[in-house]
């Protein structure tokens, strides 16, 4: 059986890609494909926490199948942090919001949901149609928009957390197919 193929894509946070998301790299607001390559990581940049804790800046992404393989659908989407071992001492928090509609410049904060740090028991991401499954390789076959951010406080030691080839800080999205 040929397995489904999925793209996880990062977008800029100001250009509405709705209606073009099936185009991949040709869509409005495309930034990059998120994957395990050296350039495919979600980069929160450098944070200055010398005087106060800060949010890194909300990042926007979504996923879509590029092929369903021999499956008729993908379903049971569960988004979480599979590893935070790179993080130790200090106050830090991983936030996310999943929603159907695009919102330019959305900023997550303290009231936003925390990203689960283990595999959720139930689905926490849905299709752009608000369904529990995706059956098409089209705009209607994309996920909700997924906004993520990272808070670090002044007590987090200086250093690099995660990055290419480092399994100590990893987001993961699992799914089933039939």
- Domain edges within the chain: 5-35+51-177
Q: Is 77 exposed, middle or buried (0-12, 13-18, 19+ CB in 10 A)?
A: buried
Q: What is the pTM of this model?
A: 0.91
pLDDT tens-digit readout, 20-70: 998 889 999 999 999 888 888 888 888 888 889 999 999 999 999 999 999
Task: Indicate the pairing of strand 170-177 with strand 54-55.
Answer: unpaired
Please give the Cα distance from 162 to 154 (Å, whole number). 19
The pLDDT, as a whole number, for residue 167 is 63
Classify domain 5-35+51-177 by CATH number. 2.60.40
| 157 contacts 90 by C-beta, under 8 angstroms | yes
pLDDT tens-digit readout, 156-166: 888 777 766 66
Q: Is 15 exposed, middle or buried (0-12, 13-18, 19+ CB in 10 A)?
A: middle
């Amino acid at each position: 059986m040929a397995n489904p193929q999925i793209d996880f894509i990062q977008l800029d946070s100001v250009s509405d890609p709705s209606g073009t998301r099936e185009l991949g790299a040709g869509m409005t607001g495309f930034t990059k494909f998120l994957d395990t390559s050296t350039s495919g990581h979600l980069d929160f940049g450098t944070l200055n926490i010398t005087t106060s804790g800060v949010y890194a800046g909300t990042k926007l992404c979504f996923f879509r199948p590029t092929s369903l393989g021999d499956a008729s659908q993908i379903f049971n989407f569960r988004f979480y942090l599979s590893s935070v071992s790179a993080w130790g001492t200090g106050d830090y928090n991983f936030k996310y919001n999943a929603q159907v509609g695009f919102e330019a410049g959305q900023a997550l904060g303290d009231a936003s949901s925390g990203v689960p740090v283990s595999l959720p028991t139930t689905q926490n991401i849905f299709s752009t149609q608000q369904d529990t499954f995706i059956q098409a390789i089209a705009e209607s076959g994309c996920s909700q928009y997924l906004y993520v951010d990272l808070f670090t406080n002044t007590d987090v030691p200086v250093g690099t957390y995660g990055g290419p080839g480092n399994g100590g800080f990893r987001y993961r999205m699992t799914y089933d197919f039939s």
